[in-house]
């Protein structure tokens, strides 16, 4: 995972020390400005951190916490899921929403698609020891809930754990397929 993480961030042997400092001192360096990431890079970065799971990594946060940060644009600091993201990401999220409705009823029943007319607000890390709120509008794929469900399934914290694990695995696979297709 570390090697994949380094590739996404643009880390090389020449800038490794600077990259490690930037990773542990979010918001205190120009790393993000000097090494901008696309929305696809952010999503791949998020997936890498999801795979870290509950292990503590960058900035002293768990993989799941870091995954949420990157799912919401990392240093771009998106505060709303749809309106501030690229057209590609909006289409990607719509496709995931359709897949969830078709193949993941347990996940949907647990909030994977926002069903509250006001939307949903999540508090996630913002870097530099701070937190920020992110709004997910009604009817949208909730990437942050997806990460929460993955965490619950990994810790066996859910009464529907087996169904949840199967559905999450399928959605994770489809998500990767969508990302790979986007690179063509």
* Contact predicate 145/112, CB 8 Å: yes
pLDDT higher than 70, residue 5: no
133 forms beta bridges with 123
* Contact predicate 146/99, CB 8 Å: no
What pTM value is reported for the model?
0.83
Q: What is the pLDDT of residues 25-42, one digit of tens each?
A: 767 888 767 777 788 888
pLDDT-above-90 percentage for the chain: 35
* Contact predicate 183/40, CB 8 Å: yes
Alpha-carbon distance 113 to 183, whole Å? Answer: 26
Q: What is the pLDDT of residues 56-93, one digit of tens each?
A: 987 889 999 999 998 988 877 776 665 455 777 788 88
Q: Where do we find the tokens 């002293």?
A: 60
Alpha-carbon distance 93 to 89, whole Å? Answer: 6
């Amino acid at each position: 995972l570390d090697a994949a993480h380094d590739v996404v961030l643009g880390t090389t042997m020449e800038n490794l020390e600077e990259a490690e400092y930037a990773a542990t001192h979010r918001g205190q360096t120009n790393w993000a400005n000097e090494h901008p990431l696309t929305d696809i890079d952010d999503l791949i970065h998020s997936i890498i951190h999801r795979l870290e799971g509950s292990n503590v990594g960058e900035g002293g946060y768990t993989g799941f916490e870091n995954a949420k940060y990157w799912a919401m644009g990392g240093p771009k600091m998106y505060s709303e899921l749809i309106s501030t993201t690229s057209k590609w990401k909006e289409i990607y999220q719509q496709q995931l929403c359709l897949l969830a409705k078709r193949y993941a009823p347990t996940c949907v029943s647990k909030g994977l698609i926002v069903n509250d007319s006001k939307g949903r607000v999540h508090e996630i890390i913002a870097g530099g020891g701070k937190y920020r709120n992110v709004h997910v509008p009604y009817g949208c794929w909730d990437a942050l809930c997806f990460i929460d469900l993955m965490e619950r399934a990994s810790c066996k914290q859910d009464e529907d754990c087996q169904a949840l694990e199967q559905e999450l695995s399928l959605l994770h696979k489809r998500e990767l397929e969508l990302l790979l297709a986007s690179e063509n």
